[in-house]
Structure 1
Amino acid sequence: MVRTVVFDVGETLIDESRIWLRWAERLGVPPLTFLGVLGGCAALDLPHLEAFALVRPGLDVDEEAERWARDDPDGLRNGFDADDLYPDVRPALAALREAGLDVVVAGNQPPVARAALEAMDLPVSAIRTSDEWGVQKPDPGFFARVAELSGVAPQEIAYVGDRLDNDVLPAAEAGMRPVLLRRGPWGYLHARRPEAARTTVIDSLAELPAVLMG
């Protein structure tokens, strides 16, 4: 029986469209071009950073992000806020809490993401990022930290994410229930793969209470 539901962040809770559009503007690349290249990376199982290398060869993304911060210290830049939450997030999290399940957020994110998420006052008991843990998905150590944070056995945890490779299959290997959300470039592509049969595939977070409690 599932007692804790743990959520990935990007393209699970947060719509990253505005982030990628701001990056396209920053790099001087037409939005369709940049988003298309990003989708190609998803289809070819390339890291998302490869999209930057393809449109701006030789670019150091970390250095560019630092320059961007100096140029626009008060802007969101490659961050997010409550306006980027998918519409089904708050109702779904609240419904899970009302059903008696613990709700946690844990994903591959920089430290500033935790503050951004905490500012949204989501109905969750904990928010953690890979940077503060010092380990990233799909490393098994990340999911060990998830289990430790949740305080329940791995088989009592459902991990919800939009990627097979980074999120739900490693969670399954850790003994958790894998839930693949068909959302974002990776979600739509990965839901068509044979490996998706090893997971529970949903199209909206609103489906979770019935799926997990049914």
Structure 2
Amino acid sequence: MKTVPAGVRHVIFDYGGTLADLVFPFTVFRRFSPTTTMGSGEIKPPHFLQRRARKLAYPVAARLFRPFDGLHEVLTELRTRGYRLHVLSNNSSILPLQLDLIDTTDYFDTISWSEEMGVEKPDPRIFALALERIGAAADEVVYVGDSVPADVEGAAGAGITPIHADHRRRLPQGAELRVESLFGLLDLLPPLPPSE
């Protein structure tokens, strides 16, 4: 089985559809999120009522995801193998709460979301900003995500090796490296040699 390139030390994960599965249609909540304007390249400040509704909806919306099977075991094993773990998601300031609710916050060295960065995946600038925050070069990182256009093609466009998290077992597309469950990452990411 193919593994990641030598020199990879960091694993960046998408959130929704990769670490956790949506258990309720999120489109209703996105109505109240300023990220709905981000596809145009600009972020418009939300109206007061939108901000208030969003604030009230965040705790409910954060509970609309459940972790994929094996999430904690895989994250623990990747840390044991020496990898630094990160999250980069097209999301809003709700992301830290979402990660906290699935008890994963402490696994990650950095947590980044598009709303705070002012740009969304697949734009290569968001990946460049994440690399800067991590302090790593593109060839030291893999990006794990479920969306072929946003995650696989976006990461590849930024020079990062993508791993397609195909939990829904769609036809293979877009990525040389593909897993059907988080456990598949353990086949692709061998233990790192001890640091000198």
TM bracket (short chain): 0.7 to 0.9
CA distance in 2, matches of 1:192, 1:204: 14
Structure 1 ranges of 4+ moved more than 6 A: none
Are 1:93 and 1:124, in contact at CA under 8 Å, matched by a contact in 2? no
Partner of 2:74: 92
Match of 2:177 in 1: 200
Q: 1:93, 1:123 within 8 Å by CA — same for their partners in 2? A: yes
Shift of 1:74: 7.1
Q: Deviations over 1:186-211 (max 9, x none)?
A: xx44x443xx2x43010111121221
Matched, 1:141 2:141: no
Identify the residue that residue 79 of structure 1 maps to in structure 2: 62
Unmatched runs of 5 consecutive residues or more in structure 2: 1-5, 30-35, 37-45, 192-196
Percent of residue pairs identical: 29
Residue 145 (structure 2) aligns with? 161
* RMSD (CA atoms): 3.0
- Match among 143, 161, 170 for residue 177 of structure 1: 161
1:106–1:22 CA distance, 2 compared to 1 (3 A): closer
1:116 equivalent among 94, 98, 103: 98
Contact 1:90 1:122 in 2 (8 A): no
Gap change, CA 1:68 and 1:14, over 3 Å in 2: farther
CA contact (8 A) 1:118 1:127 kept: no
Higher strand residue share: 2
Give the whole-Å Cα distance in 1 for the aligned partners of 2:146 and 2:114: 17
- Name the CA distance, whole Å, in 2 between partners of 1:152 and 1:67: 35
How far apart, in 1, do the equivalents of 2:97 and 2:149 lie?
Answer: 27
Which digits, 9 at most, give the CA deviation of each residue in 1:101-141, with x for residues without a partner? 10001110011222332452341211111111111101111
Conservation of the 8 A alpha-carbon contact between 2:143 and 2:160:
yes
Q: 1:17 aligns with which of 11, 19, 23?
A: 23
3-state SS of 2:91 partner: coil
Q: Which secondary structure does the structure 2 equivalent of 1:111 belong to?
A: coil
Q: Which structure shows the bigger proportion of residues in helix conformation?
A: 1
TM superposition shift of 1:11: 0.5
Alignment of 1:54-65 (within 5 A): none
- Given the superposition, is the C-alpha separation of residues 74 and 17 from structure 1 closer, same or farther in structure 2, using an over 3 Å criterion? closer
What CA distance in whole angstroms lies between the structure 2 residues aligned with 1:205 and 1:90? 10
Residue 66 (structure 1) shift? 4.0
Task: Please tell me whether Structure 1 or Structure 2 has the larger radius of gyration of its CA atoms.
Answer: 1
| Matched letter for residue 200 of structure 1 | L
Match of 2:194 in 1: none
CA distance in 2 between partners of 1:142 and 1:135 (Å): 6
Instruction: Mark the CA change 1:75 to 1:143 in structure 2 (over 3 Å): closer, same or farther.
Output: closer
Query: Is the alpha carbon distance of 1:9 and 1:97 closer, same or farther for their aligned partners in structure 2, counting shifts above 3 Å?
Result: same
Instruction: Report the count of equivalent residues.
Output: 167
TM-score by length of 2: 0.73
